[in-house]
Structure 1
Amino acid sequence: MLDPEIVEEPVAFLETAWNLVLVLGHTNCGPADLIIACFLWLGSGLMQISFFFILLSDDFLGEPFGNQVEVAKAWRESIAHDFKHMDLGDESLVSRVCRADRTLILSTSQMQMLDQINAFLGLGKEEFEAPYFQPGVLLCMMCILLWCLYLLNEFRLVLFSLEAVSQVPRGPRTQWRRRGGFQTISYGRFGVYCFMRLARFFIAVGLLYAGVQWLAGTISITELILNAVALSAVLQIDEMVFAALMPKKIQICIQDLEAIKVRYSKGRSQTESVILVVAISLLMLWPWTHNVGPLSWDMLEVKRQYCGGTQNFVVAGNQIQGVTVGLVTSEYAQGVNQTSLTRFAVRRHIWEEPLGSSNYIRFTKDRSSFVTARDMDMHQRNTHDSLCMDFDDIFLGNATHELQEFYRPYFYSASFEAGIPEGASCAEMAHLCHSLDSQARLVRHVCPRTCGCHLQHTNPLLKLVGEGCSKACFTEQEYAMRFSACKDVDLEESPHLREAWEGFWDSYKPLMEQRVGMNFSSPSLSFVPDFLTYVKKVGCPGLSVVAIDPVTRSPWCSGSQLYYGPLANWCPQTCGCHTSETLPTWCPRSCEGCKDTANFPTHIRVSDCAQSLQAGLCEAYPLESAVYCAETCNLCSALHNNGTID
């Protein structure tokens, strides 16, 4: 009689090709069935072994995710901040990738990678710290747990089947008590069966390892469950082969095998339970410490390399100078409700304007002209077909001009930057004349007279050909200064002139900080704020205290080719223009006195003042002659104070 604490569990032989050896030779089937059955058993085993090698192959698993850190680093330090990949809103490529801009056609694989990382770790687009709840990590561990449970069940079945068969008496021949019931099992059959079950055990161990590696390397949260289900199908290959392809007579014989009872005591049950709990705990600890945990840390580092730090800048290499040039780009949040000029122009032309005719786009006739127009800077533009006139009278009034279609996109683009896209008058855009922003160049270009480009005593800040003022305005200014007084401006005589003078010095420091990146708190420039305050107050005499611009290292009198016009226009006496034997090009022509110019123009049909007098040009064009040939043409009376310098 059995101990009440001992129970018997029947261990059934599963419907699998691995049990073929138990009935082989006792199935009363034909040789074809036997050959097919043996091939099916061998094939199912080889299929599972091949899956093991495929799952662990480099082509299938791919390179370790940790390698993506270097890939992200290389991308961030090269393509991500390349100026060529800015969009029409001046947003950098890295900024668009990190905010998951779905209009991207570049670096889409990087954006998909970041999407997967954010979904896996439960991160927002701008988050770089892992939260406590990480859905991908949790799901990955659950799928690994499911796979481990599959394999633990397989291990138990293998061990139980070995224990059950070992209870059958062994002898030289296999004998049946009745159909499906063993009386004895031969030593050879028993040995082969044990070998096959152990082979099945080690195949399961290999699949356990390969499956865990595969699941732990899956970074797509949507593919994890599919991969787990696919792995379970791999484990069931032999059962599916048995059910679908095994000859029927052999199927029936295996199905008729009687279950063999295995005894279970209380102690054995507890020991087995503890072993299983420890086993599943170790099986879960192993992938966490070696795979899933490091994967989540690598994901955080990959995202940090892709999107961490400063995103809003682009660079380009100047190969001639050997330096890297940078540009701070706009943030997406700033541009959400603000359309760039280029995007506005494109949208208008798509829906509202006829092809090739636009208020905001300068269309060219061919590719060569397109490239030229695209790369032309403002200096080139203002030395070619430049006019010194305000164009609001033409585009907003009834006036016409032969070049108005050429100037149309410039005028309306300037209006857009002034906040009035449908067309702003020059008076409405005047507040941008002295702006440091690059968009103000357009305003100075289409409203040069409103901005004072033609005047001698105007704020010289950015009053340059390269900053929008046309060459024609400077030619007009040069003519006018031939008839002005060669003396320093008295700021006390005109509040308007003092305002313009102080406006220049107030803008100097912000200009140099923005354009040059100067730090005026450094010891070498600590005197600048006091100097600016002083020169604003005293006027021209202040230029004698500090004669050289501390930033550009050029004299204040001659001005800067990049940032402001010559202050000699305001202070010719302080600058020594009235005492120079050879008048510098930056001095007012009035300081030349009643002399002929040393730089005779080349655009007229005579080559010097003597020929002008002989040709009768002095009488025909007295004003022009006074500008260039006052002495030869005896036109000193037309000059200020008869050409006498005080």
Structure 2
Amino acid sequence: MFGDNSNLSLIEIAVSDLAFRDLGNASYSSRYILMPQEATDFENKRTELMAAAAALILDCSDFDLYYVEGQPTTNDYAAYWYNTAPGLGFPQTSSCHDMKEYCNSEDGELLRLTCGVTCGCAEPSTNPWFRVVERGCSKKCIDEMKVVIDEINCTDVPVESTQWQTFWEDYPAIISSFLGERNTSKIDELRVFANHMLTEGCSALGNASYEYEELTQTSFCAGHSQIWAPLSILCPSTCCQGEDSEFCPSSCQCRPEGQDNDQDLLDNMPAGNPDFNGIMNCRMAAASDLCT
């Protein structure tokens, strides 16, 4: 039964791997099953949420480097990796690149966890849908993204940018699926909303009528912990003025018109960026064109 894995379910593959292990190898660890060291840990692992797993990943990398290409690692991510490809219907030898099409999928949680680089979990330019810890992007990748965000200009992406257009094209289907919305009139309203955002761009988020996602009552700029990363990543000029957020560039702390916050600027200037050498206040930053 277990000689050919091609027609087996993921559970059957895991059982096969365990059943036909090398009994003489005392250090054997199941490739598909997380084996707790202590019996008391079993229930914790059995009910482990994706957010908990994503918080435990110690590096932002593609795991095919370790389990396909053979690069050494001191971390044991085997169970996560070996469940990824079969879970998406791919051969076990598949690489992150082979499975990239599922990075933006609601079902791609494990792929985003094991292929964080390929799926763009550390890149601000990536589609914000599901680029959150609770949907598989490791905390390490998100932390790396924050470092990159901190150093970018306080400039909104153009309305025609791929990130902006793709986000709103996907919006009606993803939100209705997440909430189990079946009311066709409500879904039509979501499409109308999305079409408006597709033409108006980031500036629409500054309008109180478009600031919040209607069904979840969540700020688009702040993001939703279970669905989308903060749109301040794409729209810092609109979302970040006067806001102290980890997903806002330091350059947005410059406010040449109106209320300046010199101390906030000094506290949040990107370390090692030569453009900020000698900058002591917002006025100096503005004079050096660092506010755009």
1:568 Cα shift?
A: 1.0
Correspondences of 1:209-288 after superposition (within 5 Å) = none
Residue 596 to residue 366, structure 1, CA distance change in 2 (3 Å): same
Answer yes or no: is 1:530 the counterpart of 2:192: yes
Does structure 2 retain, via aligned residues, the 8 Å contact 1:411–1:446? yes
Aligned counterparts of 2:133 and 2:73: Cα–Cα separation in 1: 22
Correspondences of 1:601-620 after superposition (within 5 Å) = none
State the secondary structure of the residue aligned to 1:399.
coil
Q: Counterpart amino acid of 2:253? A: E
1:419 to 73, 89, 106: 89
Residue 518 to residue 632, structure 1, CA distance change in 2 (3 Å): farther
Residue 520 to residue 535, structure 1, CA distance change in 2 (3 Å): farther
Residue 465 to residue 422, structure 1, CA distance change in 2 (3 Å): same
Residue 366 to residue 457, structure 1, CA distance change in 2 (3 Å): same
State the secondary structure of the residue aligned to 1:504.
helix
After superposition, give the CA deviation of every residue in 1:146-191 in whole Å (9 maximum; x if it has no partner): xxxxxxxxxxxxxxxxxxxxxxxxxxxxxxxxxxxxxxxxxxxxxx
After superposition, give the CA deviation of every residue in 1:293-334 in whole Å (9 maximum; x if it has no partner): xxxxxxxxxxxxxxxxxxxxxxxxxxxxxxxxxxxxxxxxxx
Residue 374 to residue 570, structure 1, CA distance change in 2 (3 Å): same
Residue 641 to residue 347, structure 1, CA distance change in 2 (3 Å): farther
Does structure 2 retain, via aligned residues, the 8 Å contact 1:416–1:423? no
Aligned counterparts of 1:486 and 1:566: Cα–Cα separation in 2: 15
Does structure 2 retain, via aligned residues, the 8 Å contact 1:382–1:466? yes
1:480 aligned partner: 148
Answer yes or no: is 1:574 the counterpart of 2:238: yes
Correspondences of 1:452-463 after superposition (within 5 Å) = 452-463=120-131
1:376 Cα shift?
A: 1.6
Q: Counterpart amino acid of 2:244? A: L
Residue 371 to residue 625, structure 1, CA distance change in 2 (3 Å): farther
Answer yes or no: is 1:376 the counterpart of 2:48: yes
State the secondary structure of the residue aligned to 2:56.
coil
1:587 to 239, 248, 265: 248
Residue 534 to residue 365, structure 1, CA distance change in 2 (3 Å): same
After superposition, give the CA deviation of every residue in 1:597-636 in whole Å (9 maximum; x if it has no partner): 37xxxxxxxxxxxxxxxxxxxxxxx964659xx6899799
2:113 to 445, 448, 453: 445
Aligned counterparts of 1:415 and 1:476: Cα–Cα separation in 2: 25
State the secondary structure of the residue aligned to 1:452.
coil
Percent identity between the two aligned chains: 27
Aligned counterparts of 1:573 and 1:526: Cα–Cα separation in 2: 30
Answer yes or no: is 1:504 the counterpart of 2:167: yes
Q: Counterpart amino acid of 2:202? A: C
Structure 1 stretches lacking a partner, 5+ long: 1-336, 599-621
Correspondences of 1:14-29 after superposition (within 5 Å) = none
State the secondary structure of the residue aligned to 1:489.
coil
Residue 641 to residue 565, structure 1, CA distance change in 2 (3 Å): farther
Aligned counterparts of 2:145 and 2:30: Cα–Cα separation in 1: 33
Aligned counterparts of 2:39 and 2:137: Cα–Cα separation in 1: 28
1:357 Cα shift?
A: 2.2
Q: Counterpart amino acid of 1:541? A: S
Does structure 2 retain, via aligned residues, the 8 Å contact 1:461–1:504? yes
1:468 Cα shift?
A: 0.7
1:425 Cα shift?
A: 0.8
1:397 Cα shift?
A: 1.4
Aligned counterparts of 1:459 and 1:624: Cα–Cα separation in 2: 27
1:431 Cα shift?
A: 0.8
Aligned counterparts of 2:95 and 2:290: Cα–Cα separation in 1: 42
1:517 Cα shift?
A: 1.0
2:139 aligned partner: 471
Aligned counterparts of 1:483 and 1:371: Cα–Cα separation in 2: 42
1:342 Cα shift?
A: 2.1
Q: Counterpart amino acid of 1:344? A: I
1:456 Cα shift?
A: 1.0
1:559 to 223, 229, 245: 223
1:428 to 98, 101, 113: 98
Does structure 1 retain, via aligned residues, the 8 Å contact 2:122–2:142? yes
Does structure 2 retain, via aligned residues, the 8 Å contact 1:596–1:631? no
2:211 to 547, 560, 583: 547
Aligned counterparts of 2:144 and 2:286: Cα–Cα separation in 1: 17
Select the structure that is richer in helix: 1
1:640 Cα shift?
A: 11
1:386 aligned partner: 58
Residue 632 to residue 387, structure 1, CA distance change in 2 (3 Å): farther
Q: Counterpart amino acid of 2:105? A: S
Does structure 1 retain, via aligned residues, the 8 Å contact 2:121–2:141? yes
Residue 490 to residue 506, structure 1, CA distance change in 2 (3 Å): closer
After superposition, give the CA deviation of every residue in 1:399-444 in whole Å (9 maximum; x if it has no partner): 21111xx10111111121233343321101111101112xx11100
1:560 Cα shift?
A: 0.8
After superposition, give the CA deviation of every residue in 1:35-54 in whole Å (9 maximum; x if it has no partner): xxxxxxxxxxxxxxxxxxxx
Does structure 1 retain, via aligned residues, the 8 Å contact 2:96–2:115? yes
Does structure 2 retain, via aligned residues, the 8 Å contact 1:583–1:591? no
1:645 aligned partner: 291
After superposition, give the CA deviation of every residue in 1:331-362 in whole Å (9 maximum; x if it has no partner): xxxxxx96432232112221355475222122
Aligned counterparts of 1:531 and 1:548: Cα–Cα separation in 2: 11
Structure 2 stretches lacking a partner, 5+ long: 1-5, 255-261
Does structure 2 retain, via aligned residues, the 8 Å contact 1:488–1:573? yes
How many matched pairs? 270
1:155 aligned partner: none
Residue 584 to residue 631, structure 1, CA distance change in 2 (3 Å): farther
Tell me which structure has the larger Cα radius of gyration: 1
Residue 360 to residue 504, structure 1, CA distance change in 2 (3 Å): same
Q: What TM-score, normalized by structure 1, do the two folds share? A: 0.38
Q: Counterpart amino acid of 1:538? A: E
Q: Counterpart amino acid of 1:587? A: C
Answer yes or no: is 1:362 the counterpart of 2:34: yes
